[in-house]
Amino acid sequence: MSLFKALVKPTLVILSFVVIEGCATHANFTKKYDVWVGHPIVDFINKIGYPDNTFVLPNKHKVYVYEESHVYNMPSPMLTVGSGYYGGYYNMYGYAYNNEVIQESCKLFIETNKKGIILKWGSRGNHCVSH
């Protein structure tokens, strides 16, 4: 197997993630939730689903919390010289794969007043994006 062929598969996998993620942006995420300000939380729950958690602020406003987290392994190529065991992997062709663990998360906070009207929202995490 040539080095060129060994690079094609991981490159295609990485490019497919880039293309898929390229459409998802934080700007789209912001637009998606900005439109809900001023609307009843009941309508939001009917559209998005039940929250993962809720809590009440000292001013008696209620906060609805939605959490999303993904952990996945992505093969990452390792160039090696010669054959043998490299990093726990047997390699005959001067090339091996290692797994890179990637964690993406987003926490969405929706604040409502006593009447259940959405006042504002906020988010925290490294992957708060939307298509």
Q: What is the DSSP string of 26-78?
A: HHHHHHHHHTTTTSBHHHHHHHH---SEEEE-TTS-EEEEEEEEEEEEEEEEE
Q: Of residues 105 and 7, which shows the higher confidence score?
A: 105
Ranges of each domain in the chain: 3-125
What's the CA gap between 111 and 90, in Å, rounded?
53
**Tokens linked to 37:** 């300000």
Q: What is the mean pLDDT of residues 25-40?
A: 93
State which of 17-26, 57-66, 71-80, 96-105 shows the largest mean pLDDT: 57-66
CA angle 117, 50, 67 (to 5 degrees): 100
Q: pLDDT confidence of 100, banded at 50, 70, 90?
A: confident
Report whether pLDDT(115) > 60.
yes
117, burial (CB in 10 Å: exposed 0-12, middle 13-18, buried 19+): middle
- Using DSSP's 3-state secondary structure scheme, residue 79 falls into strand
